Amino acid sequence: MSFANHSHLKVFSGDQNKLVKEPTIPTWVPKFQIKVFCLSKCRTKELHNEVPKFLYYQYDLRVIDLSYNNFGGKAHLWLLENNTRMRAFLMKGKSFITNDLQFPSHSNPYMSVIDISKNKIQGQILANICSIFPQLRWLNLSSNILGGNIPPCLGSLSTGLFFDLSDNQLYGGIPKKLAKSGSLFFLRLSNNRLSAR
C-alpha cells in the first residue's frame, strides 16, 4: 500500500497487522503531515523491523503509538525533537534500547502522556523533565533499567497525575513535593531501591 498520493492524510491506524520490510526505494518525502499514527501490536517475521522511514519527515504529529512491535535499536526520541506539538508518545513493549534517556532540549507545552515502559532503557530521569513537559499528566517509565533519583519537580505538576516508575533501579527517597502533592491520582514505585527518609 502506498501513501504517495494521499496529500491530505491526517490519521492512520494500523494496529495488529503483519509488517513486512519496506522495499529499498529512492528517498521518498511524503506530501502529507500526519497528526495521529498508530501501529501497535503488529506481527513480523523479521527479528527487528525498522520504524517506517516516512516518519523522519513528519513535523506535526500529535499522537504516536508504536507499542509492542519488534522495532529494535535505540528509542526513537527524535520523534519528540521533530514534533514539538506532540501530545501522546507511546512506545512500550521491549523494543528499544538506550543507555541515555535524553528527552528534547526544547520545551513541549502540549505533551501530556509518555509511556515508554517495558523496554531496556538505562540512565536517569532528567531533573528538568517538568520544564520540558509542563503539562505532563501520565508518565509510565516502569520495567526499564533507570537509576538515579526521582525528580522532585514531579510533585509540582497539577491535575490528576499518573506516575508509574516501578521495576527500575531508582534510589534515594520519595521527594517531599511528590509525597505531599494533592494532584496525584496514581503513584507506583515498587521494585526499586528507594529508602525511607
Report pLDDT digits (tens) over 96-134: 777 777 888 889 999 999 999 998 888 999 999 999 999
**pLDDT at res. 20:** 57
Residue range 11-194, CATH number: 3.80.10.10
**pLDDT at res. 112:** 96
**pLDDT at res. 54:** 83
Distance CA 105, CA 119 (A): 22
In 134-153, which positions are buried (b, 16+ CB within 10 angstroms) versus exposed (e)? bebbbbbbbbbebebebbeb
Sign of the CA dihedral 38, 40, 46, 48?
A: positive
> What is the reported pTM?
0.86
- The low-confidence residues of the chain, meaning pLDDT below 50, are 1
**pLDDT at res. 115:** 95
